[in-house]
Structure formats: C-alpha cells, structure tokens
C-alpha cells in the first residue's frame, strides 16, 4: 500500500489524459523522446531565446529572477487592495458592492494604476531586451533583497535555461545535447507522423505527459519551481485564421477542468500576457491561489505556425497539411495547453490539507482531496485483533484490491486509525465488528462528514465505484 503522494500524482495525470485523449476523438496521445537532435532546439528558438533575466545582490550574494522580484512587489500592492476590500466589506455589510468599490475608491484606484503601470513597463522592457531599464525599475521601486534588505544590485543579465549534456563515449566525438525544457517540441517533430498514420483531419490535437528540465535560476517554494518536473501538454493543430476562436475555446475548457476539482472557483484567475514569448501571438496563464499568492498553474498559448514553420526550415522538409476543404497545403497554426503536474499536485495538496476543530474541542488533520485523487481509496479495519475479525477484514481487502487502492490497518484504537487515514486523505474507512459475522454488514465512515452508516459487505464495491469514478468528474467538463 502506498502512503506517498505518487498515486495522487498518477490520478491527476490519468484525469488529465482521460479528459484530453479519451473524451476527444480528435486528440491522440504520444510519448516522444527526451533527447532530441540539438538542431530541434535551435529551430524552436530555445537555444537563442529561452532566457530569464537574472540579477545578483552584491552584498548577500543571493541570485534572483529580476521579473519575479518585480512581480512579488506588485503582489504586495495587490494584497493591500485585498485588505482594503475586506475592510470595506465589513464596514458596509450587505450593501457592499465590490466592483463599484474597486473602481471608485481613490486609494484602491491608485494602487491598481501603480500595479498595472509597473507590469506594463516591465513587459515592454523585457520585450525590447532593455535590461538596463529592468534594473532601473528595481531601483526606482526600491526593491531590496528579500533575505537581507540590501539594495546593492548587479546589472540584469539574460540567463539561458537549457540543460546541456553530452552523447557519446569519448570526449572528442561526443555530441552536445539538451534535455528537453518542454514536451511540446517532441509533438511538433512528430506532427506529420501522427497526422499521416492516424489519418487525422484538422482540427486535431496531440497530447503527451512527461519530464521536462530547466536550469532554473532559483528553484524554491516547495515543488512550485523545480529543475526537473513533469508537464502535461496538448498541441491543437488548426487552420490559419481560426486561432482566436480556438484560443478562447481552450481557455474556457481548461478553466472548467480545474474548477471541476472543487478547490473553489475563486482560487483561479486568468492572467493575460503583456510580454509574449518568442513563439506566441496570444497567451494567458491560469493562475491559482497558492499559499504564497496567485501564481501560474497552466499556460495557454496561441503559437501560430512558428514552431512547425521553423522545424520545416531547419529540417529542409515540409511539415504541411493538405486541407481538402480549402483545397490547399499549409503549415497549421497551433493552440497549446501546458500544465505542470507537480504544480497542480501542490495546488490540490495546499487547499486540501486542513486542520479542523471538532465539536468536542479536539482537532484533526484531514487531507480533503477529491476522493478520486486520494492515494488510498479505502481502509479496512477489524474492530479488534481477535474473534476472527482480522480474517474477515483481510478477505474484504483481498476481494477489493483488484479494482481499488485498499489499505489494511489493525493497530491502535479505531478512532486513532480513522485519524491516520484522515491525514492520508483516505475518503472511506470500513470497520468489521462482531455484528459483521452475524449479518454481513460493516460500518462505513466518511472522511469529510465523519458520518458512519452500516452497509452490506456486498455493497462496498458498488459504493466505491459510484464515489470514486472519474466519470462523475469528467461529465462536469
């Protein structure tokens, strides 16, 4: 039985895969290589343009992403706005109109204007590669090293995030390679393969999940930013000129997917980009309200024909589609959805882990994961370690383990066993007692409500099927 987070991660990956590949006739899945020919990364623009602006503090010797320092400054302004709203909501009670307050309160309007103008200036400077102005902005805002308060900064430099490695046995013949910084390029180079062998017609998508690697300047905030992480990406190939409508479609679809997890719709927001990446004509982030503020969870990008067009040029091979309706060949446009599996895991975990005070004043730690995402789906307890109860419990585990993730626990009092499973996020526990051998019923206890009811042993499988199936979630999409 698994008490780690990996089954949850797998469940999230499965949910994404089902919602993309299983539910859409026109989306297929692939599993491309991590190593690709180095020219791939030249063609994709990553070798030349996959950079982050880096700044060092001369006193603390700490290294930061200049854009993140500025964004954190803006987040503080946004927090001040939030505080004003909370204060006013208390003051005005039921009569409070949030929208009106946001547009009319002079202090809030001033904060808002300031935040917007900072982000706009940063976006424009990064777009023009005017790194001196990014530094000026940091100085004008008097941003200090978060660890020491020092404002003694170096100039801002570009830092390439590609992870280099070597292929080959001897140093002189070895070939420089890169680990992939995103899974998307494996999809682009396989576009024609998939389209031809699957006889796919536009619009259609290719989805894949897998590891990606980035030499991040700073990797911190738990698993929010790592150098090795997993992505779930889908590239949707479309006729040129239809990108606006598909971009809108996938924005809405993906937001709905997140909301279906039940973490609270207020915890998501779109952040449309001012500064566009080298490949995009429109881009947005779905941001999530992490414990450290709203941050990117998923990116949705309208990538035009940038990638396929460039691979065509560098490979000297056509990557075109013949459109029978338009009666012409063209390089398709692409709308991409790209989400970090580790980030969604963090999102789920951070909202689900709760400390509850019960009616009797005691507390319990409970991981209120959506039941289908829980690592263990059912825990089975014999009330006592004698009178044949462990044998009955073991038999139930044996019968159910083929379809569900089941745990067996006989240690300590039942109350303590419940608490242990609460903290692990197990949605249901069943207890076998002396009545079980008489009438073949057990007690089922619900993690969230803590309510207990008696059901027949034969009905456990059905109950789990009903409560733990992906289909209920998928139907909401």
**Token pair for 364:** 């319990």
Measured between alpha carbons, how far is 268 from 347 in angstroms, rounded to an integer? Answer: 11
274 touching ligand ATP, by CB under 6 A: no
Shortest Cβ distance from residue 433 to ligand ATP (Å)?
46
Give the one residue of 153, 204, 229, 381 binding ligand ATP; rule: CB under 6 A: 229
- Tell me: does residue 186 bind ligand ATP (CB under 6 A): no
Among 216, 274, 410, 472, binds ligand ATP (CB under 6 A): 216
The correct pick among 9, 214, 251, 303 for binding ligand ATP (CB under 6 A) is 214
> Rounded to whole angstroms, what are the CA distances from 133 to 128, 129, 157, 165, 247?
10, 9, 12, 34, 32
CA distance 49 to 71: 21
Q: Is there binding between residue 298 and ligand ATP (CB under 6 A)?
A: yes
Site membership for ligand ATP, residue 339 (CB under 6 A):
yes
Of the candidate residues 342, 409, 422, 433, the single one contacting ligand ATP (CB under 6 A): 342
Pairing verdict, β 204-213 and 27-29:
parallel
Q: Which of 115, 297, 331, 389 binds ligand ATP (CB under 6 A)?
A: 297
Helix H or strand E segment including 183 = none
141-151 in b/e form (b: 16+ CB < 10 A) is eebbbeeeeee
Number of residues that bind ligand ATP (CB under 6 A): 16
Among the residue ranges 118-126, 239-247, 294-302, 437-445, the one whose residues contact ligand ATP (CB under 6 A):
294-302
Edge-first strand order for the sheet with 51-56 is 63-65, 51-56, 157-160
Within 343-372, which residues bind ligand ATP (CB under 6 A)? 343
Query: Residue 296, interface with ligand ATP (CB under 6 A)?
Result: yes
428 binds ligand ATP (CB under 6 A): no
**CA-to-CA distance for 424 and 418, rounded, in angstroms?**
10
Burial 295-305 (b: 16+ CB within 10 A, else e): bbbbbbbbbbb
Query: Shortest gap between Cβ of 202 and ligand ATP (angstroms)?
Result: 24
Residue 332 sits in the site that holds ligand ATP (CB under 6 A)? no
| CB of residue 154 to ligand ATP, shortest distance in Å | 21
**CA 45 – CA 181 distance, rounded (Å):** 12
Instruction: Please state the closest distance from residue 223 (CB atom) to ligand ATP, in A.
Output: 7
Q: Which is nearer to ligand ATP, 280 or 442 (CB)?
A: 280
CB closer to ligand ATP, 216 vs 410: 216
Q: Which residues contact 45 (CB under 8 A, 6 or more apart)?
A: 278, 279, 306, 310
Considering only 226, 347, 424, 430, the residue that binds ligand ATP (CB under 6 A) is: 226
Residue 296: strand pairing partners:
287
Which stretches of the chain bind ligand ATP, using CB under 6 A?
182, 214, 216, 225-226, 229, 231, 296-299, 338-340, 342-343
């Amino acid at each position: 039985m698994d008490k780690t987070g990996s089954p949850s991660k797998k469940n999230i990956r499965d949910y994404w895969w089902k919602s993309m590949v299983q539910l859409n006739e026109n989306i297929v899945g692939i599993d491309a290589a991590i190593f690709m020919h180095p020219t791939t990364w030249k063609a994709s623009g990553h070798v030349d343009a996959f950079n982050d602006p880096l700044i060092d503090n001369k006193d603390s010797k700490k290294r930061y992403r200049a854009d993140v320092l500025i964004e954190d400054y803006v987040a503080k302004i946004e927090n001040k706005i939030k505080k004003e709203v909370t204060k006013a909501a208390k003051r005005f009670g039921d009569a409070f109109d949030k929208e009106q307050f946001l547009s009319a309160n002079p202090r809030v309007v001033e904060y808002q204007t300031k935040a917007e103008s900072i982000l706009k200036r940063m976006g424009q400077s990064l777009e023009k590669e005017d790194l001196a102005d990014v530094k000026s902005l940091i100085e004008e805002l008097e941003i200090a090293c978060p660890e020491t308060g020092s404002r003694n900064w170096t100039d801002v430099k570009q830092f390439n995030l590609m992870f280099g490695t070597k292929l080959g046995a001897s140093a002189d013949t070895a070939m420089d390679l890169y680990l992939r910084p995103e899974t998307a390029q494996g999809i682009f180079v396989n576009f024609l393969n998939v389209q031809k062998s699957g006889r796919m017609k536009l619009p259609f998508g290719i989805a894949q999940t897998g590891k990606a690697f980035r030499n991040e300047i700073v990797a911190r905030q738990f698993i929010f930013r790592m150098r090795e992480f997993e992505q779930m990406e889908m590239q949707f190939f479309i006729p040129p000129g239809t990108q606006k409508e598909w971009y809108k479609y996938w924005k809405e679809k993906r937001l709905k997917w997140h909301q279906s997890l039940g973490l609270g719709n207020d915890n998501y927001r779109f952040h449309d980009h001012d500064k566009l990446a080298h490949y995009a004509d429109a881009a947005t982030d779905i941001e999530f309200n992490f414990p450290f503020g709203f941050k990117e969870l998923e990116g949705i990008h309208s990538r035009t024909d940038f990638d396929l067009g460039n691979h065509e040029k560098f490979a000297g091979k056509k990557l075109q589609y013949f459109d029978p309706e338009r009666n012409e060949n063209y390089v398709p446009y692409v709308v991409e959805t790209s989400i970090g599996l580790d980030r969604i895991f963090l999102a789920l975990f951070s909202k689900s882990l709760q400390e509850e005070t019960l009616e009797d004043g005691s507390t319990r730690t409970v991981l209120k994961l959506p039941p289908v995402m829980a690592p263990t789906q059912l825990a089975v307890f014999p009330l006592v370690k004698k009178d044949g109860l462990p044998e009955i419990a073991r038999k139930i585990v044996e019968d159910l383990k083929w379809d569900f993730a089941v745990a067996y626990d006989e240690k300590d009092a039942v109350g303590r066993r419940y608490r242990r499973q609460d903290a692990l996020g197990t949605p249901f526990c069943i207890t076998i007692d002396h009545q079980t051998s008489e009438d073949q019923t057990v007690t089922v206890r619900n993690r969230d409500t803590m309510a207990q009811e008696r059901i027949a042993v034969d009905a456990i499988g059905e109950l789990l099927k009903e409560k733990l199936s992906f289909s209920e979630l998928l139907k909401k999409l």
